[in-house]
Amino acid sequence: MPKTTLYSASAQPRPYRVIISGGGTGGHIFPAVAIANELRRRQPDAEILFVGANGRMEMTRVPEAGYKIVGLDIAGLQRRLTPQNLLFPVKVFRSVRKAGKLLQEFKPDAVVGVGGYASAPVLLAATSRGIPALIQEQNSYAGLVNKLLSRRVNRICVAYDGMEKFFPADKLVLTGNPVRTEIASGSRAEALSFFGLSPEKKTLLVIGGSLGARTLNEATAAALTRLQAAGIQLLWQTGKLYYPKAAEQAAPFAPDKLQALEFVQRMDLAYAAADVVISRAGALSVSELCLTGKPSILVPSPNVAEDHQTKNALALVEKDAALLVSDADAAATLYDQALALLNDPGRQQQLSQNVSRLAHPHATTTIVDELLALMDRA
């Protein structure tokens, strides 16, 4: 389909207008909101519209961040034959048509796709009309939507090197992932006071994401006696569903500073308190570990598309910047490795130095630089 330009952005006297599309998980939503916040900081009169998928978490999280969002009736393909899969082509067609109407009404100067179901129809509609488009890929293994659309968009901002195996090299910009830079600003003394921890003991932080991680929770519960015997303090972020059980399991160990927490509001202080971190390997978790310079053991979730968490973890492991334990091996070996690392300050320092070199503290500003440059050239 030949591209037709609706208008020239440079000919518009009005403020910039930008559509940001995608979502489905916090790993997509947080970068999207971070980009919007930075654009608004630099262009306070910019008009920003989000487009998400109806029924997904962005439909509540984005308005909570202060932005308007429009939903499309789009969902991903299931891995097995289902009635939903039979309706998939119809939903894509309808979503592309609705996205086209949104573009005609809103008249954006550029479109940003952050991955997830809703980004595909919007990027397809935008690029067919000659509207500048930018993709932000969070993972070391590119998502299917971003790979398919890479030749149509103008710029691709990535978080890892070597991404030319997925994308046209001339469109790539290594920016890193947008993360809250304040995540690395916590004071250890303030952190220990905030969580009621002792400065004389080593501290282990376990984070499984906002929903928690069953494997990490079960392995941690089984290791409480070992941690107590070793004199280790624990900040154990369990997630909402597992918290009642975890709180009961941790209660006998509470006097020894082994704490189960449903959610950690002050992640800056949690990182500041930690000597070692056990974490899943989602893109934003990995980026936070790089920014905070924390020695970590990554346990990739096996329940993600293309096993991209393992690939994220390996991107660090190959640079000797983290340790990796598979989900299947976690019950047997995770806490052997965690205790060994906690008792090896030299290894902690080596991992910390290596992971810090991979940080991109200015990722958000660099992405917005690229976005503004695209609109200025249009």
Calculate what percentage of the chain has a pLDDT beyond 70: 91
What one-letter code names the amino acid at 173?
A: V
Query: Per the structure block, which two tokens stand in for 26?
Result: 């916090």
Calculate what percentage of the chain has a pLDDT beyond 90: 78
Residue linked to tokens 């440059």: 373
Instruction: Determine if residue 27 is labeled as part of a ligand binding site.
Output: yes
Instruction: Determine if residue 287 is labeled as part of a ligand binding site.
Output: yes
Instruction: Determine if residue 283 is labeled as part of a ligand binding site.
Output: yes
Confidence grade of residue 258 (pLDDT, cut at 50, 70, 90): very high
End-to-end CA distance of the chain: 20
Query: Are both 258 and 211 inside the same structural domain?
Result: yes
Name the 3-class secondary structure at 232: coil
Q: What is the pLDDT of residues 273-332, one digit of tens each?
A: 999 999 999 999 999 999 999 999 999 999 887 788 999 999 999 999 999 999 999 999
- CATH code of the domain containing 245: 3.40.50.2000
Query: Per the structure block, which two tokens stand in for 207?
Result: 């984070």
Could you tell me if 232 and 257 are in contact, meaning their C-beta atoms sit under 8 angstroms apart? Answer: no
Instruction: Determine if residue 139 is labeled as part of a ligand binding site.
Output: yes
Could you tell me if 136 and 367 are in contact, meaning their C-beta atoms sit under 8 angstroms apart? Answer: yes
Confidence grade of residue 139 (pLDDT, cut at 50, 70, 90): very high
What one-letter code names the amino acid at 89?
A: P
> Nearest-CA neighbor of 136 among 167, 106, 165, 162?
167
Instruction: Determine if residue 309 is labeled as part of a ligand binding site.
Output: yes
Span 60-84, average pLDDT:
76
Query: Are both 163 and 117 inside the same structural domain?
Result: yes
Measured CA to CA, the distance from residue 325 to residue 332 in angstroms comes to: 10
Confidence grade of residue 89 (pLDDT, cut at 50, 70, 90): low
Number of domains into which the chain is organized: 2
Q: Residue 122: give the domain boundaries.
A: 9-177+361-377
Query: Are both 136 and 275 inside the same structural domain?
Result: no
Confidence grade of residue 210 (pLDDT, cut at 50, 70, 90): low
Query: Are both 35 and 83 inside the same structural domain?
Result: yes
Instruction: Determine if residue 26 is labeled as part of a ligand binding site.
Output: yes
